[in-house]
């Protein structure tokens, strides 16, 4: 019998043509689809070079970009691993192949295993081989040669199911994998090898014989003589034997004695021209599969896995719930969020920082949807704004399978150990672990404190030295000679530029120029920079410094603020990159000279060192919710005198991670786009107004929707309900249905809705459900919300049910953000107006004031800042959060009042002026019973008693 040849070349060509056609079709549907294969070759072996050229040529013909990376033979194992790690992380690379063999000093197993499983198009890695050998395993890729063998059999009409197969050879690359694939196709498989006794007897009974033993013509043709059925033979061998008749001096033979086997077998693959071409075709097919997976996943690095909740009733304490949940490792949270390992800087297992280089990698992505969560005017009963932020994120991510980030500010430890408690959310909608969240996180607030206090020390030190030295000595000490050479530092060069002194050599300054440069001549009465501490230490509100005899009588009165009230914190929240932070720190105005000129941090020479202290703090922190969705926790500017929101950088980072490829169709974009749920301090009228007019101006971002959180109980307070006292039982009005009281209170909600609509932004009201609410009360809130202009008002029970309780709210958010509803977005005021006009517009349009009264100190400061060129900045009004007005006792929607501005201060580095409307304390005090009294650490080092 003369065997039929199995033409591997023709079969491979057909497969490569199919791959090419599919790539062309996908490219026509999506211009960004560009399959890309990276091939690493170490050394210059001729056979390896031939194979690499063949693979690169096949890739180009198929429409696959092939990056050939040639590395020196002497490269170290660590250097090669670093190269592979870089390719693993490159989102533009879909397949990574390391050409074997490698030099003897490199561990091949270690190298092939280092290729990430989702890019291991050779299929040699531990994961893919391991999954192949598991029952119901799910490898990303099948090894190319074994996969090609199965494809050859199928395309040549060979029946595999029910057949008897013999595999000769047990290598991890061919023998073992092909045996597993034959078994998966329902063949009965026998694995043999060179030591198998009576091997011809196995072959005599086989339907299919796969030979991959690596020995030339090991399987003799006559062994098939007794096989009356006529076997199908797949010869995987590629061996070179001496042949003097050939020009090269050798010829290529397989592992089967080909010419003799032809007489007895039914079908056989030639060598060359059999399995070899199929291996390359399968490599192209695997690369296409990898690129399609990336396309279908929308660029996600791995699938999101939600954490399940064990919901209990009654709902346990926040701390018990947090402690009961086992968080995912932060590296898994980050990978699911689309953050590369090289962009992650873990601080233990549950929190990490994210490097800003992520923004460069994702700069071309279209932003995700930006959801701003605010509330009604706060009451002692609380509205659950943070809880809603977390619950909404859990609903979007863990239940609706959307890419989502909750972005919240880092809480100060002052309130944590005071009376307010933590800010991690509550019930089954929390950031976890709550103790890590509410304490140090990654130390950003400590870094802020150090930077702030360094500047404070520098100010007093500078005044001390100026008062005790003459001009020449002062200049000499400020610009000392090092190894006989004097140089101006970068910060000194900036001061020279400000003074209009165009000289670079310190020795060239005239005495008058040296004096102007060295002597700041700070007016102590104008110093606004204070020291900070992250503790509610009321006795530091006013202090006298310089009492030590070494200070030679140089004393002055000053005080401390809480760390989050520092302008450094506002700068951290508002800066757009490291250079922007450095510039803003330099622009901080700390005082005026006796001549009335502004004195800056740059003049003091402190900005570079402060930037160094904050170089890690600028990187956003990532944690997770109870259901495993990612949370950015970054920056925490004091909500009364600053923006009270998390950082611009965290929002920008999250929006890119939640974003989409701009080349996708609009329909696909709508399906894939993710959501960033970020929170403003206090209510919309206070926190939301600042968020938009200050933060959005700095970031260039615009919310897609405003969520206003309200509760039945809090609205009843604004409707004129009985006074609520801490620790006292709630009056009956808050526990029983009272529609009339509630409807009156809805006026406060309506005012916030109307205020948000002034920016042409859509509004959804989140009704934070409580057990004492009635359906009728919820209906009343919805009626009043729609009447006031809200797109919808949706009941959410996330506190009791986690993300599942916020699904309706999440679906409402999705619906509104799919529409182009904010195309007419506008700010409340133009920054070019006068300070008085901007404050008046905020007070009248947002708060409902009749007019504004500027006290003498405020008028004096406005004149000074206008003269100094700072009038064209946005305004932050510092006032009570408990009323739309300046008076905490005025509930509901007060009107006709005069809004008093007692002082105006400057945060030039942060980029705004802030007007003080009442006696706002910049460092709170501690109550009689403090939060810290409940905190303990058990014998295992676990913190207990936080709330």
Question: How many of the other CB atoms lie within 10 Å of CB of 259?
Answer: 10
Q: Residue 709 has what DSSP assignment?
A: E
Question: How many of the other CB atoms lie within 10 Å of CB of 190?
Answer: 16
Q: Residue 308 has what DSSP assignment?
A: P
Omega within 30 of 0 (cis) for the link into 272 = yes
Task: Say whether 122 is catalytic.
Answer: yes
CA dihedral 142, 144, 150, 152 (to 10 degrees): 150
Contact 488, 602 (CB under 8 A): no
Catalytic, out of 41, 83, 99, 285: 99
Q: For residues 619 and 347, what is the distance between their CA atoms, to the nearest angstrom? A: 12
**In the numeric block, which tokens belong to residue 480?**
């000392």
> What Å distances lie between residue 507 and 53, 274, 410, 512, 516, CA to CA?
64, 82, 48, 13, 15
Q: For residues 204 and 183, what is the distance between their CA atoms, to the nearest angstrom? A: 20
Contact 589, 528 (CB under 8 A): yes
Identify the H or E element spanning 562: strand 560-562
Q: For residues 106 and 109, what is the distance between their CA atoms, to the nearest angstrom? A: 9
End-to-end CA distance of the chain: 86
Q: For residues 389 and 801, what is the distance between their CA atoms, to the nearest angstrom? A: 14
**Closest listed residue to residue 808, CA positions, set 774, 778, 783, 780:** 778
Contact 400, 808 (CB under 8 A): no
- Can you tell me which residue has the tokens 């008076």? 887
Catalytic, out of 122, 235, 460, 603: 122
Task: Say whether 55 is catalytic.
Answer: yes
Using only the alpha carbons of the chain, give its radius of gyration. 36
**In the numeric block, which tokens belong to residue 759?**
């920016």
Q: For residues 234 and 148, what is the distance between their CA atoms, to the nearest angstrom? A: 11
Q: What burial class does residue 282 get, using C-beta atoms within 10 Å of its C-beta: 0-12 exposed, 13-18 middle, 19+ buried?
A: buried
Q: Residue 14 has what DSSP assignment?
A: H
Q: For residues 266 and 232, what is the distance between their CA atoms, to the nearest angstrom? A: 6
CA dihedral 256, 262, 266, 271 (to 10 degrees): 50
Contact 276, 10 (CB under 8 A): no
Q: What burial class does residue 669 get, using C-beta atoms within 10 Å of its C-beta: 0-12 exposed, 13-18 middle, 19+ buried?
A: middle
Task: Say whether 318 is catalytic.
Answer: no
Residues designated as active site: 55, 99, 122
């Amino acid at each position: 019998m003369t065997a039929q040849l199995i033409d591997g070349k023709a079969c491979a060509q057909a497969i490569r043509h199919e791959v090419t056609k599919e790539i062309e079709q996908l490219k026509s549907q999506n211009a960004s689809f560009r399959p890309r294969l990276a091939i690493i070759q170490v050394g210059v072996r001729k056979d390896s070079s031939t194979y690499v050229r063949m693979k690169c040529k096949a890739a180009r013909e198929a429409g696959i970009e092939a990056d050939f990376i040639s590395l020196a033979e002497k490269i170290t194992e660590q250097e090669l691993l670093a190269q592979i790690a870089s390719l693993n992380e490159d989102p533009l690379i879909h397949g990574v192949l390391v050409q074997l063999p490698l030099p003897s000093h490199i561990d091949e197993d270690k190298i092939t295993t280092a290729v990430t499983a989702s890019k291991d198009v050779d299929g040699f890695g531990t994961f893919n081989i391991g999954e192949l050998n598991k029952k119901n395993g799910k490898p990303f890729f099948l090894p190319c040669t074994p996969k090609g063998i199965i494809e050859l059999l199928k395309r040549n009409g060979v029946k595999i199911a029910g057949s008897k197969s013999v595999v000769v050879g047990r290598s991890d690359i061919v023998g073992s994998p092909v045996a597993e694939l034959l078994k998966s196709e329902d063949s009965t498989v026998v694995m043999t090898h060179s030591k198998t006794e009576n091997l011809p007897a196995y072959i005599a009974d086989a339907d299919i014989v796969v030979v991959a033993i690596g020995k030339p013509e090991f399987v003799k043709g006559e062994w098939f003589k007794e096989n009356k059925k006529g076997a199908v033979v797949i010869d995987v061998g590629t061996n070179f034997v001496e042949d003097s008749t050939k020009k090269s001096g050798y010829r290529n033979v397989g592992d089967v004695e080909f010419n003799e086997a032809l007489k007895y077998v039914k079908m056989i693959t030639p060598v060359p021209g059999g399995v070899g071409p199929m291996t390359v075709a399968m490599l192209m097919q695997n690369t296409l599969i990898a690129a399609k997976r990336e396309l279908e996943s929308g660029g996600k690095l791995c699938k999101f896995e939600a954490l399940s909740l064990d919901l209990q009733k009654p709902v346990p304490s926040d701390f018990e719930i947090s402690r009961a949940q086992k968080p995912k490792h932060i590296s898994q949270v980050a990978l699911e969020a689309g953050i590369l390992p090289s962009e992650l800087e873990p601080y233990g297992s549950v929190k990490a920082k994210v490097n800003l280089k992520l923004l460069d990698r994702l700069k071309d992505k279209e932003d995700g949807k930006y959801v701003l969560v605010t509330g009604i005017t706060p009451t002692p009963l609380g509205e659950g704004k943070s809880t809603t932020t977390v619950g909404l994120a859990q609903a979007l991510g863990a239940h609706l399978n959307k890419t989502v980030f909750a972005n919240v500010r880092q809480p100060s430890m002052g309130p944590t150990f005071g009376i307010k408690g933590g800010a991690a959310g509550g019930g089954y909608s929390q950031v976890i672990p709550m103790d890590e969240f509410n304490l140090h996180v990654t130390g950003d607030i400590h870094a802020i404190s150090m930077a702030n206090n360094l500047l404070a020390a520098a100010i007093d030190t500078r005044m001390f030295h100026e008062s005790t030295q003459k001009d020449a000595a002062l200049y000499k000490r400020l610009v000392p000679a090092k190894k006989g050479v004097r140089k101006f530092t970068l910060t000194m060069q900036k001061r020279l530029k400000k003074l209009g002194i165009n000289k670079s050599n310190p020795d060239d300054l005239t005495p008058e120029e040296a004096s102007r440069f060295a002597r700041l001549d700070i007016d102590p009465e104008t110093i606004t920079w204070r020291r900070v501490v992250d503790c509610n230490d009321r006795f530091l509100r006013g202090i006298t410094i310089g009492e030590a005899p070494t200070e030679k009588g140089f004393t002055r009165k000053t005080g401390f603020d809480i760390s989050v009230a520092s302008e450094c914190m506002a700068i951290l929240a508002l800066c757009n990159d490291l250079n922007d932070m450095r510039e803003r720190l330099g622009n901080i105005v700390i005082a005026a000279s006796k001549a009335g000129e502004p004195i800056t941090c740059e003049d003091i020479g402190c900005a570079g060192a402060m930037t160094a202290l904050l170089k890690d703090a600028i990187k956003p922190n990532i944690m997770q919710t109870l259901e495993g969705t990612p949370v950015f926790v970054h920056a925490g500017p004091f909500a009364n005198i600053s923006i009270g929101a998390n950082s611009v950088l965290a929002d920008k980072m999250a929006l890119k991670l939640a974003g989409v490829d701009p080349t996708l169709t609009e329909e696909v974009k709508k399906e894939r786009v993710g959501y960033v749920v970020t929170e403003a301090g206090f209510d919309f009228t206070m926190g939301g107004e600042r968020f938009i007019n200050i933060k959005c101006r700095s970031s260039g971002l615009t919310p897609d929707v405003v969520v206003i959180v309200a509760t039945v109980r809090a609205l009843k307070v604004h409707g004129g309900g009985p006074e609520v006292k801490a620790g006292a039982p709630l009056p009956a009005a808050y526990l029983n249905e009272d529609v009339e009281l509630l409807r009156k209170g809805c006026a406060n909600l309506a005012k916030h809705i109307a205020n948000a609509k002034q920016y042409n932004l859509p509004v959804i009201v989140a009704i934070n459900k409580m057990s004492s609410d009635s359906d009728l009360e919820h209906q009343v809130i919805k009626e009043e919300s729609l009447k006031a202009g809200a797109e919808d008002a949706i009941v959410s029970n996330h506190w009791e049910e986690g993300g599942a309780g916020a699904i309706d709210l999440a679906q409402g958010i999705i619906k509104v953000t799919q529409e182009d509803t904010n195309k007419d977005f506008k700010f409340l005021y133009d920054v070019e107006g006068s300070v008085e006009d901007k404050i008046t517009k905020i007070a009248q349009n947002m708060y409902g004031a009749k007019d504004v009264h500027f006290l003498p100190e405020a008028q004096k400061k406005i004149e000074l800042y206008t003269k100094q060129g700072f009038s064209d900045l946005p305004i932050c009004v510092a006032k009570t959060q408990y009323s739309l007005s300046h008076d905490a006792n005025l509930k509901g929607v007060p009107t006709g009042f005069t809004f008093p501005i007692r002082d105006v201060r400057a945060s030039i580095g942060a980029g705004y002026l802030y007007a003080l409307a009442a006696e706002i304390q910049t460092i709170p005090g501690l109550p009689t019973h403090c939060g810290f009294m409940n905190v303990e650490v058990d014998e295992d080092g676990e913190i207990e008693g936080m709330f």
